Amino acid sequence: MPSSVIRAWSYDEAEHRLDITFVSGRRYHYHAVPERVAQGMKQAISKGSYFNRRIRDRFAFTMAETAPAA
């Protein structure tokens, strides 16, 4: 089921980094995210709800640079 908040996400196991792209186009890197949290995201029916409950305000993050619009 597509999320109304999250456009895409990926997890870098080596870096323990969760990369999330929101429908707004903003991209964030969430750092030191345990693999079990990323697995929970994968299994979650609602990615946005899972993000709000388990990731937002719990992990340090940096905003990724966004590509300029063409």
Give the pLDDT score at 63.
96
Give the pLDDT score at 1.
52
Question: 45 — phi, psi (to 5°)?
Answer: -70, -45
pLDDT in tens, the chain (70 residues): 567 899 999 999 999 999 999 999 999 999 999 999 999 999 999 999 999 999 999 999 999 986 555 4
| Paired tokens of 13 | 């196991």
pTM of the shown model: 0.87
